[in-house]
């Protein structure tokens, strides 16, 4: 049976971890305990069939405390200075497709987080202890944080439903 969050956890600015703790405490008060907690953020709604099951399987086989969904990053990043710095060796600029997986950066998707309840309760953070990355399809890596993101997601969903 669904339940409502308290008002202070139902605002646009409410952090996620207290909401998860509230849900765990709510069920604990009913005598229900869980070993694992999963967070599927609504701002990252695009998950392909089988992704959630595959993430749980990866989490179980890894023995990790936490898992997060990631996609390969294919961008070069810069930080303003002074001094201006790059996230890569711009003097010996590599071709993006030639960067080996072990040297690649991966972007957190916001789409799926899985954690052992014990690790989550100890740290009060969705990611703690030993962390494993779950590689997702690039299509699943979009987040809706702006109107432009929303338009991109609409186009992707439309394309996916047209392909069916």
Task: Please report, for the domain that includes residue 134, its CATH number.
Answer: 3.90.550.10
Domain assignment of residue 124, given as a range: 34-71+107-163
Give the C-alpha distances (Å, rounded to integers) separating 25 from 31, 38, 121, 128.
10, 15, 10, 19
Is residue 1 in a domain? no
Average pLDDT, the chain: 92
The answer to whether residue 65 is domain-embedded is yes
- Rounded distance between C-alpha atoms, residue 94 and residue 71, angstroms: 19
Domain count, the chain: 1
pLDDT tens-digit map of 74-130: 888 899 989 999 888 889 888 888 888 888 889 999 999 999 999 999 999 999 999
Distance from C-alpha of 109 to C-alpha of 140, rounded to nearest angstrom: 7
What pLDDT does residue 160 have?
Answer: 79
**Torsion from C-alpha of 37, 44, 56, 121, nearest 10 degrees:** -20
Q: Does residue 77 lie in a domain region?
A: no
Query: Who wins on pLDDT, 12 or 2?
Result: 12
Within-domain flag for 11: no
* Distance, C-alpha 39 to centroid of its chain: 8
Give the C-alpha separation, 33 to 85, whole Å: 48
Please report whether residue 47 resides in a domain.
yes
With CA atoms as reference, report the closest residue to 109 among 135, 81, 86.
135
Mean predicted confidence (pLDDT) in 26-37? 95
Q: How far is CA 128 from the centre of its chain?
A: 14
| pLDDT at residue number 163 | 67
42 within some domain: yes
Phi and psi dihedrals of 63, rounded to 5?
Answer: 75, 10
Report yes or no on 84 lying in a domain.
no
What is the DSSP secondary-structure string of 75-139?
---EE-SSSPEESS-STTPPPGGGS-GGG--EEEEEEEEEEEHHHHHHH-SSS-SSEEEEE--GG
pLDDT at 152: 92
Residue 8 belongs to a domain: no
């Amino acid at each position: 049976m669904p339940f409502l969050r308290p008002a202070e956890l139902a605002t646009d600015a409410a952090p996620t971890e207290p909401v998860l703790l509230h849900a765990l405490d709510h069920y604990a008060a009913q005598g229900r305990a869980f070993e694992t907690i999963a967070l599927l953020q609504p701002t990252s709604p695009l998950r392909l069939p089988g992704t959630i099951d595959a993430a749980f399987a990866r989490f179980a086989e890894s023995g990790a405390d936490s898992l997060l969904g990631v996609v390969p990053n294919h961008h070069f990043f810069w930080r303003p200075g002074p001094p201006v710095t790059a996230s890569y060796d711009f003097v010996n600029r590599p071709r993006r497709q030639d960067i080996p997986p072990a040297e690649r950066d991966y972007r957190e998707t916001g789409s799926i987080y899985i954690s052992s309840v014990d690790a989550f309760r100890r740290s009060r953070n969705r990611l703690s202890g030993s962390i494993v990355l779950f590689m997702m399809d690039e299509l699943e890596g979009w987040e809706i944080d702006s109107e432009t993101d929303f338009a991109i997601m609409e186009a992707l969903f439309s394309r996916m439903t047209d392909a069916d």
